Amino acid sequence: MKKAIVLLSGGIDSATTLFYARKKKFKCFCLSFDYGQKHKREIESARKIARGAGSPILVIKVDIPKWASALTSPAKLISHTKKERIGKRIPSTYVPARNIIFLSFALSWAEARKCSHIFMGANVVDYSGYPDCRPVFLKAFQKMARLGTKSGLQAKAVKIKAPLLFKSKAQIIKLAQQLGVPLKLTWSCYRGGKVPCNKCESCILRAGGFREAGLIDPALKPKK
């Protein structure tokens, strides 16, 4: 059976990617990261999603510069924004080299577990302008994996796959529904808490995706 490492953050994109990989008959091993983010709500979601998918998950704690991002620095606020401004600049929530770090861990685990693929939910259509979500970055990382690993030198380089790269948020949500992703378990908000803030960039993109898909976000449904 084919095996893959899946980067699982707990959001819609990564959860959909996990279920996509399972649909493609991969045995999936999930990686999530505690990198000092202000809340652990997304990690809780990742654990629940992985458990529901029947996939083991490992949460790796990494120490990165806390002061450089609004997601990790107590001194920096996660700003409110409007959808038309999203993607126009690299936001304050950018975490230095985050996907490089995550993919490097995933590549090491993939080689160790003899996994042929790494799946991640990177997207360049409805996203916040992060440089490490672009096709040119993924292409460069794939080249590095081919040149800098044992498997690469043996012509068995681990393949980096981002199946959602060119899909809109609405398309991703529709795909998630088709794949049976438990959307009510996903968490996108940059802030912690019991309910999404509906004001940060991630919340705005999520709300817009559900609206365009003609669906109601189960995370916002009142509890009965």
Q: Are 179 and 20 in contact (CB under 8 A)?
A: yes
pLDDT tens, the chain, 224 aa long? 899 999 999 999 999 999 999 999 999 999 999 999 988 899 999 999 999 999 999 999 999 898 889 889 888 877 655 554 555 578 888 899 999 999 999 999 999 999 999 999 999 886 667 899 999 999 999 999 999 999 999 999 999 999 999 999 999 999 999 999 999 999 999 987 788 888 888 899 999 999 999 999 998 865 55
Q: Which residues of 190-212 are buried (b: 16+ CB within 10 A; e: fewer)?
A: bbeeeebeebbbbbbbbbbbbee
Please give the domain boundaries of the chain with CATH numbers for all domains: 2-219 (3.40.50.620)
pTM, rounded to two decimals? 0.93
What Å distances lie between residue 207 and 50, 144, 168, 198, 220, CA to CA? 24, 36, 12, 8, 10
- How wide is the angle at C-alpha 209 spanned by C-alphas 103 and 138, nearest 5°? 20
Residue pair 101/63 in contact (Cβ under 8 Å)? The answer is: no
Quick one: tokens of 152? 């690469």
What's the pLDDT score for residue 199? 86
